[in-house]
Amino acid sequence: MNSHDSEICTHAFEDGLEHHGAIAPPLYQTSLFRFADLESFSHAQLREREHFVYSRGLNPTVKLLEDKLAALERGEACKAFASGMGAIAATLFSLLRQGDHVVRVNQTYGPTVELLDQMTHYGIAHDGTSGRLENVIQTLRPDTRVIYIESPSSMRMEVTDLAAIAGLARERGIITVIDNTWATPLFQKPLTHGIDLSIHSLSKYLGGHSDVVGGAVIGERSLIDRLFACGHQLLGAALSPHSASLVLRGLRTLPLRMRQHQANGLAVADYLANHPLVEELHHPSQLRGAEADLVQRQLHGQSGLLSFRLSCPTYARTARFIDALRLFKIGVSWGGYESLAISPLRPDGSGQALIRLAIGLEDIEAILADLKRGFTAIGP
Ligand SMILES: *Cc1c(COP(=O)(O)O)cnc(C)c1O
């Protein structure tokens, strides 16, 4: 964890004595901003990207968060959104035109695939592939405009070589986008590997307390300006100032929390790796060979989201395991203080036979004891 990042999460962009010296940044709960005369209004309205005119565009509380997120990702600019999906939708709408093709690398977040499926009605096609470079190259078409990556992905934690994909995309004039939610900007900085745009759901680790929904996109200023004009302003998924202030508060403890998520996640991964009832374990700490080298190169740390496959993973056994847990709550999302468990497996046996655990900030002994309870419930 780097001290520059800690500085960004705490003091950066708020060192002045404005706002009467308030140590907590004020919440600008306002929809519009007034002007002294028509000329200053006219000037601001022409450049809504830089001026406070209306909070669907720019708001000081939201802007402080955007400045911090851009700095954390080592990007030039950031735009915040009302949700991760708001950020993803605006990004895709601003980059794609009828006749364009998208290559998805690794397992893509389900609603993102659903959105791309919707976009096929507007003449935009997409195909998915694994993170292996030769597969990515094979999936490219002459009309491919965007390569959309998740690394690590959020169900099987697959990784891919970001610099290699960024390189081959650049040669072909393709824009690369990554959903960087798993790693947070503390543990992975995709722009430094040549990726064009990095997206986050702020609802996960960045918010960190399971009390806010938000999203953000970070990249070069020209791309973010285009995203602002074509996606953010028109689709209208603006982050509320109140939500921004909650995420700003989350950022204060992000380095501290990520250290604990990492330690707890690694301890759980170690425990599951050696468990006789676990058939497969998905966490970057478990990768070997070339993929382990990639993890070393790209990730500065590992978060606490992992998944595993039980031996004989029927729905009944999966349900018995999850229902026996007391500390782990059953619920979607992740990145809050609390440990969570879910499975995409459905009662009819369809869906991935995985149990996904979001390892929270609780005491590790209590977390491991709870998992033992789960295994005891399904027997030897
Ligand atoms: C949650 C999530 C999203 C969507 O974010 P929302 O804030 O829920 O809209 C996108 N990608 C990943 C990997 C996520 O986990």
Which residue's C-alpha comes closest to atom 6 of ligand 1?
A: 84
Residues 6 or more apart whose Cβ sits within 8 Å of residue 199:
84, 87, 88, 91, 177, 178, 179, 180, 181, 215, 216, 217, 218
Q: How far is the CA of 199 from the centre of ligand 1 (A)?
A: 9
When divided into structural domains, the chain yields a total of: 2
Q: How far is the CA of 85 from the centre of ligand 1 (A)?
A: 6
338: domain CATH number is: 3.90.1150.10
Structure confidence at residue 379 (pLDDT): 83
Among 364, 339, 336, 360, residue whose Cα is nearest residue 250 = 336
Q: Give 202-220 pLDDT, tens digit per residue.
A: 999 999 999 999 999 999 9
21: domain CATH number is: 3.40.640.10
- Peptide bond preceding 25 in cis form (omega within 30 of 0): no
Structure confidence at residue 3 (pLDDT): 86
Query: Stretch 108-114: mean pLDDT, rounded?
Result: 97
Which residue's C-alpha comes closest to atom 4 of ligand 1?
A: 84
Tell whether 170 and 291 lie within a shared domain.
no
Tell whether 134 and 279 lie within a shared domain.
no
Name the pLDDT band for 2 (thresholds 50, 70, 90): confident
Q: What is the mean pLDDT of the chain?
A: 96
Structure confidence at residue 247 (pLDDT): 98
Name the pLDDT band for 1 (thresholds 50, 70, 90): low
Q: What is the pTM of this model?
A: 0.97
- Mutating to test ligand 1, I would choose from 198, 204, 243 the residue with most ligand atoms within 8 A of its C-beta, which is 204
- Mutating to test ligand 1, I would choose from 115, 159, 203 the residue with most ligand atoms within 8 A of its C-beta, which is 203
Q: How far is the CA of 340 from the centre of ligand 1 (A)?
A: 15
Tell whether 51 and 176 lie within a shared domain.
yes
Query: Stretch 162-174: mean pLDDT, rounded?
Result: 98
Tell whether 33 and 147 lie within a shared domain.
yes
Report CA-CA distances (Å) from 322 to 325, 335, 370, 378: 6, 19, 10, 10
CB count, 10 Å around CB of 173? Answer: 8
Name the pLDDT band for 144 (thresholds 50, 70, 90): very high
Tell whether 215 and 157 lie within a shared domain.
yes
Name the pLDDT band for 173 (thresholds 50, 70, 90): very high
Query: Stretch 368-374: mean pLDDT, rounded?
Result: 98
User: In a 3-state reduction of DSSP, which class is residue 208?
Assistant: coil
Query: Stretch 283-291: mean pLDDT, rounded?
Result: 95
Which residue, 231, 250, 269, sits at the end of a domain?
250
Tell whether 51 and 68 lie within a shared domain.
yes
Name the pLDDT band for 340 (thresholds 50, 70, 90): very high
Which residue, 219, 250, 281, sits at the end of a domain?
250
Q: How far is the CA of 203 from the centre of ligand 1 (A)?
A: 7
* CB-defined site of ligand 1, < 6 Å: 83-85, 109, 154, 179, 181, 201, 203-204, 213, 215
Q: How far is the CA of 181 from the centre of ligand 1 (A)?
A: 7
CA dist 357 and 352 (Å) reads: 14
Tell whether 73 and 114 lie within a shared domain.
yes
Tell whether 70 and 100 lie within a shared domain.
yes
Evaluate if residue 101 carries a pLDDT over 80: yes
C-alpha radius of gyration, the chain, whole number: 21
Structure confidence at residue 18 (pLDDT): 84
Q: Give 288-297 pLDDT, tens digit per residue.
A: 999 999 999 9
Tell whether 159 and 299 lie within a shared domain.
no
In percent, the amount of the chain with pLDDT more than 90 equals 96
Query: Stretch 53-71: mean pLDDT, rounded?
Result: 97
Structure confidence at residue 341 (pLDDT): 98
Q: How far is the CA of 201 from the centre of ligand 1 (A)?
A: 5
Which residue, 187, 215, 250, sits at the end of a domain?
250
Could you tell me whether strands 355-358 and 340-342 are parallel, antiparallel, or unpaired per DSSP bridges?
Answer: antiparallel
**Closest ligand 1 atom to 154 CA:** 13
Among 162, 255, 180, 174, residue whose Cα is nearest residue 217 = 180
Tell whether 99 and 224 lie within a shared domain.
yes
Task: Determine the structural domain holding residue 300 and report its residue range.
Answer: 254-378
Structure confidence at residue 17 (pLDDT): 78
CA dist 224 and 337 (Å) reads: 31
Find out whether 83 and 174 touch, Cβ atoms under 8 Å: no
Q: How far is the CA of 303 from the centre of ligand 1 (A)?
A: 15
CA 363 to chain centre: 25
Angle formed at CA 161 by CA 155 and CA 166, multiple of 5 degrees: 115
- Mutating to test ligand 1, I would choose from 106, 113, 154 the residue with most ligand atoms within 8 A of its C-beta, which is 154
Query: Stretch 261-288: mean pLDDT, rounded?
Result: 97
Helical spans, DSSP H, in 15-59: 38-46
Residues 6 or more apart whose Cβ sits within 8 Å of residue 351:
343, 344, 345
Tell whether 235 and 289 lie within a shared domain.
no
Q: How far is the CA of 117 from the centre of ligand 1 (A)?
A: 17
Structure confidence at residue 16 (pLDDT): 78
Tell whether 258 and 241 lie within a shared domain.
no
User: In a 3-state reduction of DSSP, which class is residue 309?
Assistant: strand
Name the pLDDT band for 15 (thresholds 50, 70, 90): confident
**Closest ligand 1 atom to 333 CA:** 1
**Closest ligand 1 atom to 213 CA:** 7
DSSP letter, residue 58: -
